[in-house]
A and B are shown apart, each in its own frame.
Chain A
Amino acid sequence: MNFAVISDNLLYFMVGSWPNGPIGGAALTVLLSLASALASAVLGLALGIALSQSKGWPGMALRTVLGFLRAVPVLMLIFWIYFLLPVVFGLDVPGVGAVTVALALIGGAYLAHAVSAGIDSLPRGQSEAARALGLGRWDALRLVILPQALPRMAPSFVNQWVALIKDTSLAYVIGVSELSFVATQVSNRVMVYPAEIYLFVAAVYYILCMIVEVGIGRAAARYRIRPA
């Protein structure tokens, strides 16, 4: 195998046609990952708290919507947002936006489930003790429940963010010039080194995922609270 094709095109793989064009390649992958990670974390936290606090019809409705988001392939959701929204709302959705929104929604749905499970995993006595002291529901949540529940959910957040990094590759299907798209462009141009190119690209993704898994995973482990 000849890896010269990698070094010849390294800059293009890393940043796309920037600065002579919009940012692309691995840099765009990182940006997409960061944006959707942030959005899905915020969404997941809010919906997860809502899920754990709601009963009856609103709770069931929320559960159904979240279940729908977890049953649909990411690709389908990207199609909906990218191809359908312009038709329905007259909005022109850029590819980057469509992918970020789709990943944020699906990531948020998974995280909502994890957050809700984390909150429910605390012994009932903790919320009873907080309420027995007179703390209101939101104060109890903010000061007693969440500080204990969030570190427990950290592995779920890490897993979800790793999945997100990989899912940004789906932007390829709608022509966004992130790393996978750029890789196919180079491969189609050069023609004879697909194995080398895709192995290299896989390695780049691997490094990105490892950074999140090992880096954030270790930091989260340090903040684990030992139960009394």
Chain B
Amino acid sequence: MFDGFLAPRYLAWLLEGFGVTLTLSALTSVVALGLGFILCMARLSPVRLVAAGAGLWLSAFRNTPLLVQLFFWYFGVSALLPENWTGWLNASHGDFAFGLGWPSFEFLAGFVGLTLYSAAFMAEEYRAGINGVPGGQILAGRALGLGSGVIWRRIILPQAARNALPPLAGQVMNVVKNSSLTMAIGLAELSYASRQVETETFRAFEAFGAATLLYILAVAAIEAASQVLIARDPLRRAARP
């Protein structure tokens, strides 16, 4: 509707920004889902030191603002790293993959910060999913003579995964929303682009409107995808009378 009022070059900025948002969110989600699981296993480890360490890590990343974490990775770490490292990170190293070009330092710092932050929340969702499996399931497995490895892999995890799917989808949606903070370290993602467009055109409504719409589309798409996954779950079909 309003986009007709924005000249094509501004629309292009917005779409480029959206592309950065999507790329960052996708990469972050994939890695964070994996890292989150590992952190969850560490948190549940019978080795007290590992569990306590993981607990502290998770607490630290969940109770400090993402913005401050991003500043730490972008400003803080680059100050701590030896000079030739920062030079290497900042330089372009040719094509990365799919002709995307080597990620900028802003992208790298944003990716690291967002991933570590999100992984901590995903770890908690995994933990809640596992705790949501009734304890009787383990007893039943043992009564049948199953070993703990089998019980874990074939009885607990499948049920935990089902429990955790909706909240994890919620966390992926949060990744998309939180990616907006990387504008503060200069990454030209969607929010940054919308602000740039607004500053140049003074068309706040169109600029922010388009960006908001794109965010909502992305979030809605994730919600829809998760609903499809849930609907296709063979267990749900079996449960229907």
Contacts and interface: CB of A to CB of B under 8 A. Distances in A.
B65 A166 contact: yes
Contact of B64 (A87, A192, A206): A206
A64 B160 CA distance: 30
A180 B63 CA distance: 15
B76 A180 contact: no
B100 interface: no
**Which range holds the interface residue count of chain B?**
35 or more
A72 B195 CA distance: 16
Contact of B216 (A72, A74, A210): A72
Contact of A194 (B69, B75, B215, B219): B75
B65 A167 contact: yes
Interface in A68-122: 68, 71-76, 79-80, 83-84, 87-88
B80 A195 contact: yes
A76 B191 contact: yes
Nearest to B218: A71
A37 B48 CA distance: 36
A71 B80 contact: no
B183 A75 contact: yes
Given A83-B198, A173-B184, A206-B60, A195 B68 contact: no
B220 A71 contact: yes
Given A71-B220, A76-B208, A76-B215, A205 B71 contact: no
A166 B181 CA distance: 12
Contacts of B146: none
Contact of A198 (B68, B173, B205, B215): B68
A168 B223 CA distance: 27
B42 interface: no
B191 A75 contact: yes
A209 B191 contact: no
A172 B184 contact: yes
Contacts of B79: 192-195
A184 B65 CA distance: 14
A68 B223 CA distance: 13
Contact of B215 (A73, A88, A172): A73
Nearest to B195: A79
Nearest to A192: B79
Given A83-B204, A205-B64, A183 B71 contact: yes
A49 interface: no
A217 to B, nearest CB: 12
A228 interface: no
A197 B172 CA distance: 30
B148 to A, nearest CB: 31
A61 interface: no
A195 B173 contact: no
Contacts of A196: 76
A71 to B, nearest CB: 4
Contact of B72 (A75, A195, A209): A195
Of listed B65, B71, B72, B180, residue having the most chain A CB within 10 A: B65
Contacts of B216: 68, 71-72
B177 interface: yes
B158 to A, nearest CB: 26
A79 B67 CA distance: 16
A198 B76 CA distance: 7
A216 interface: no
A187 interface: yes
A80 B183 CA distance: 16
Interface in A180-220: 180, 183-184, 187, 192-199, 201-202, 205-206, 209-210, 213
B65 A76 contact: no
Closest 8 CB pairs of A and B: A195-B76, A194-B75, A209-B63, A169-B65, A166-B65, A73-B180, A73-B177, A198-B72
6 contacts: A72-B212, A166-B66, A170-B67, A194-B72, A194-B79, A202-B64
Given A71-B219, A166-B63, A198-B76, 16 more contacts: A71-B215, A71-B216, A72-B212, A73-B176, A73-B177, A73-B215, A75-B180, A76-B215, A79-B194, A79-B195, A167-B65, A192-B79, A197-B76, A198-B72, A199-B72, A201-B68
